[in-house]
């Protein structure tokens, strides 16, 4: 009895003959995502249709819609994969055994450089555009992206507060403030199309250095 009960969730995911149920085949999903990434990179989001994606991925439109209900969900799925890799790499920089100003400077540079990249800017625009009618997309992107970063920075700050290097009453708030102050309006300028290309590295460094200095002074850094 126990064995048959344990097998039921697995059986639900399989068709007759051991094939994955509709919309659950990881290889087919990967094929679609790879094809979509190629055509989005070539044509851009606005100019790409689901028919274009189907041709690029070499699947039928019917199959495509089994896996992704619309172009927005498909594009955000592509962006989510890259986002998760990027976030993991950035959070690895928060080394509590290295000097705090150097760590936050490197971290800030990487975060701001990534936020200014075309794919990231496009993803933010799309998520903002669909968030009202598809709030689940907005929530997922916020929780897996900005909130995940803020939580990690807050945990990093907790360590230095405990060591007496910072006077921070609310590290969660301080982490959110740090992530905003290093931007200096640069990300908004990219989102609104004022800056059509990623800013040069020296401008990013200037923003981060100024924001970090303000942050450390405001929270009484004692190195």
> Given this model, what pLDDT does residue 86 score?
84
User: What residues form DSSP beta bridges with 14?
Assistant: 20
Q: What is the pLDDT of residues 123-159, one digit of tens each?
A: 888 888 888 988 988 898 899 999 999 999 999 999 9
Q: Is 148 left (phi over 0), alpha (psi -120 to 50) or beta?
A: alpha
Mean pLDDT of 70-95: 87
> Given this model, what pLDDT does residue 31 score?
94
Q: What is the pLDDT of residues 92-119, one digit of tens each?
A: 999 999 999 999 999 999 999 999 998 8
Could you tell me if 108 and 212 are in contact, meaning their C-beta atoms sit under 8 angstroms apart? Answer: yes
CA nearest 60: which of 72, 51, 71? 51
pLDDT mean across residues, the chain: 88
CA nearest 58: which of 23, 21, 33? 33
- Number of helical (H) and strand (E) elements in the chain, helices listed first: 12, 0
């Amino acid at each position: 009895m126990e064995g048959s009960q344990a097998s039921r969730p697995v059986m639900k995911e399989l068709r007759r003959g051991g094939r994955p149920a509709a919309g659950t085949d990881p290889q087919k999903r990967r094929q679609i995502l790879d094809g979509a990434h190629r055509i989005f990179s070539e044509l851009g989001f606005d100019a790409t249709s689901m028919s274009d994606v189907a041709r690029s991925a070499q699947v039928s439109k019917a199959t495509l819609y089994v896996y992704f209900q619309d172009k927005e969900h498909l594009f955000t799925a592509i962006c989510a994969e890259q986002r998760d890799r990027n976030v993991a790499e950035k959070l690895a920089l928060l080394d509590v055994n290295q000097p705090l100003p150097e760590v936050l400077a490197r971290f800030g540079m990487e975060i701001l450089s990534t936020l200014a990249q075309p794919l990231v800017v496009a993803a933010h625009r799309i998520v903002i555009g669909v968030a009202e009618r598809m709030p689940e997309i907005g929530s997922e992107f916020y929780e897996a992206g900005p909130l995940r970063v803020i939580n990690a920075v807050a945990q990093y700050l907790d360590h230095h507060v405990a060591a007496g290097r910072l006077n921070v009453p609310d590290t969660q708030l301080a982490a959110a403030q740090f992530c905003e102050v290093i931007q200096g309006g640069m990300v908004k300028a990219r989102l609104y199309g004022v800056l059509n290309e990623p800013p040069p590295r020296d401008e990013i460094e200037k923003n981060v250095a100024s924001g970090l200095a303000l942050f450390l002074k405001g929270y009484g850094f004692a190195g």
